[in-house]
Structure 1
Amino acid sequence: MSRQRLSEPFEPIDADAVVHLAGLGRVRESFEDPLRYYSVNVGGTLNLLKALEGQRFLLASTAGVYRPSAVALTEESVREPSSPYAATKAAAEDLVAWAARSGRIGATTLRLFNVAGGGDTDTTRVITRAVAVAAGEVPGMEVYGDGTAVRDFVHVRDVATAFVVALEACAVGESAVYNVGATPASVREVLAAVAEVSGRSVDVTWRPAHPGEVRFQRADVSRLLALGWKPAHSSLDEIVRDQWLASAPGSGPGPSR
């Protein structure tokens, strides 16, 4: 497929399957410009679906669609998007599920938790930011709260494998949803792992927690495991090490502490 804007109509697509990764993905930015996010993430998905007939379709969604919970989230957990970005992903999920129910496509939705490693450049993400601080690429980072909030991290390599496994299980006329996560870790554990791997301290400014901060977010991935998927690269150390090596080429891992 040639490069094309999601806002433009697509010609009919001749392919066995389509993996939809395009879109806008910054939570804070979505509050400032929700109309743009709906136009791209929902309208763009609609434009793409109009060009499909009989293909398998995989949508990359987000764990942000869920209502926060103190227990691991399953695919049946309540959806309650807390940002315009997450709301657009929930709407796109519904759109592709209804398209599958009509028999037009086969739909697979992957709700990605915190994808990391492999040279990510978005320093709004905690691992990417912490590594960039240790590498001297950015001056420091702010942490809101006491650093004990837990998130679920998964290496981008394991996400790529999940795409393949889930798409192979997809059939036209059916739709399925899968969580993709692997390793729960607190912000403090992330900072410690970055210091260990890089041999450098991470300059942190501690701020009061945001009201309503999600304290715990963990994926139940039983459904994806049942398809034969198994995360092979998602230990916190490996995620951080790969991000460090990609972000600070030539530096090499620092001394162990």
Structure 2
Amino acid sequence: MRVLVTGAAGYLGTAVVSALTEAGHDAVAMVHAQRPNIAHASEIRIADLLDPVALRRAVDGVDAVCHLAGLTRVRESMTDPLRYFGVNTVGTIALLDAMATAEVPRLVFASTGAIYGDVGGRPITEDLPDNPPHPYASSKLAAEKAIDAHDAAAVVLRLSNVAGGRDPDPTRLIPRVLSAAARNESFEVNGDGTTVRDYVHVADAANAFVAGLEYLPSQGVTERYVIGGGRGTSVRQVVAAVEKVSGRRVALIHRPAVPEPSSLVADPAKAVGQLSWVPKYSDIEAIVDQMWHACSG
């Protein structure tokens, strides 16, 4: 299958291109500006989500789209919410329009498990109500609603925290703890460090896109899947894993606790059962070990 990957130059996008190619698909990379060659992409097409003419050229001749392009930083979305709705929601609608014009009927969409909000410590499953806590999650949910209204065969992947490899985002927890260890610095923690989150390895997340593409439902049907490692890891456990892998102590400085969910852990049973997808690499020590060597190598 010839597949357009939007956001193909990104952290997860490059992994999806590689996973698609390894699975025997023809991956066409869409980027919003001129970039170096993307490994394993058969072609690179330049288009912006908010440029309808360029989007129509980008989707020409493909059989399906894996849509990963968008804005993803929660705190930034709180200070600039309209930009997030503009790119994540309006941009997705523009892509759907281009797909309709080009008669591209298949879509796999990168969404977020943050849409569920605070689930009160329950495992996150697809039947929980949507309760987006910030503009980033709201913009993704609005994009999902547009996909529901579009006559495509669509799979929506609600992703947990993607980690592993060479993560370029220094604002995420694991890169921040790794940086503290590398610099022999202390690390500031909100509260007692017992908040729990789910981490999914970037390779596992990429393979979920391949699985979703190969499963795609009937025309006009959207299926949602929670994608995560299926296990919870506290901030303290992340620090302990970094200390074990690096051989360096990371001293903690405790700041006042902030309002946040105590536990957000995915239950990917639906994806495992229907997509035959399994998170093979999402053990926290394996993730941290790979990231430590990627950063120091």
Q: How has the CA–CA distance of structure 1 residues 108 and 132 changed in structure 2, closer, same or farther, with 3 Å as cutoff?
A: same
- 2:170 aligned with 1:123: yes
Amino acid of the residue matched to residue 51 of structure 2?
Answer: E
Which residue in the other structure is 2:95 paired with?
A: 48
Alignment check: 8 A CA contact 2:74 2:136 kept: yes
In 2 relative to 1, CA 117–106 (structure 1 residues): closer, same or farther, beyond 3 Å? same
Q: Which residue pairs with 1:39 in the alignment?
A: 86
Contact 2:62–2:104 (CA<8 Å) still a contact in 1? no
Residues of 2 paired with 1:87 and 1:124: CA distance?
21
What TM-score does the superposition give when structure 1 sets the normalisation length?
0.90
Selected match of 1:58 from 108, 119, 138: 108
Any gaps of 5 or more consecutive residues in structure 1?
250-257
Matches within 5 A, 1:60-139: 60-69=110-119, 70-99=121-150, 103=151, 105-136=152-183
CA distance in 2, matches of 1:89, 1:147: 28
Matched, 1:146 2:192: yes
Assess, with a 3 A threshold, how the Cα gap between structure 1 residues 140 and 85 changes in structure 2: closer, same or farther: farther
The CA deviation string for residues 172-210 of structure 1, in whole angstroms up to 9 with x for no partner, is 322100011113111100000000001112243321111
- Give the letter aligned to residue 76 of structure 1: D
Output the CA distance in 2 between the equivalents of 1:135 and 1:181.
28
- Structure-to-structure mapping, 1:1-257, within 5 angstroms: 1=30, 2-9=45-52, 10-11=55-56, 13=59, 14-52=61-99, 53-69=103-119, 70-99=121-150, 103=151, 105-136=152-183, 140-171=186-217, 172-182=219-229, 183-211=231-259, 213-226=260-273, 227-249=275-297
Residues in 2 aligned to 1:141 and 1:123: alpha-carbon distance in whole angstroms: 14
Superposition CA RMSD, Å? 1.4
Say which structure is richer in helix. Answer: 2
Counterpart CA distance in 2 for 1:48 and 1:204 is 45
TM-score (structure 2 length as normaliser): 0.79
**Matched-pair identity in %:** 45
Q: Distance in 2 between matches of 1:36 and 1:140?
A: 34
Q: Distance in 1 between matches of 2:294 and 2:172?
A: 16
Runs (4+) off by over 4 Å: none
C-alpha displacement of 1:139: 5.3
Task: Give unpaired runs (5+ residues) of structure 2.
Answer: 1-29, 31-44
1:55-74: CA deviation from partner (whole Å, max 9, x where unpaired): 21111011110031221011
- The alpha carbon displacement at 1:162 in A equals 0.9
